[in-house]
Amino acid sequence: MKATLGIRGTIEYTAPEYGLGSEVSTHGDVYSYGSLLLEMMTRKKPTDLMFEGDLNLHNFARMALPNWEMEIVDPILINEEVTAPNNHRMMSQARNNMKKECLISMVRIGVACSMESPQDRMSITHITSELQSHA
């Protein structure tokens, strides 16, 4: 006789397939990571009152792709401009552009990781590669 365990973890970050009885896998970990990353980037919890019906954190972020990511990023992350020593404007602008690219990349990674279907989610290897390319 097979023993079954209930779903463990915080429901907002638990992959949808676990509710259907799927085995625990790295795909589920990727989903949880994507949800957490989107929460950090947008400062909105998956349980935010704005999310009703078909609108959830993933769909909210996905609608911002490919050109409106900065519209959903938490303003606190955007407003802290990086200033260079001795007020070198070119260096400051370059750093701020790099920061913007990093934030956009993190929103895109969050969306790619929190896809409903496990097969559609970004792989751990690809996540690592993307994050390192913006480090």
Helix, strand, or coil (residue 73): coil
42 exposed, middle or buried (CB, 10 Å; 0-12, 13-18, 19+)?
A: buried
Q: What is the pLDDT of residues 1-58, one digit of tens each?
A: 344 455 565 667 888 887 666 677 889 999 999 999 999 999 999 989 999 999 999 9
Return the domain boundaries, the chain. Answer: 11-133
pLDDT at position 17, please?
Answer: 81
State pTM to two decimals.
0.82
CATH-assigned architecture of domain 11-133? Orthogonal Bundle (1.10)
Nearest 5°: CA angle at 105, between 101 and 108? 145
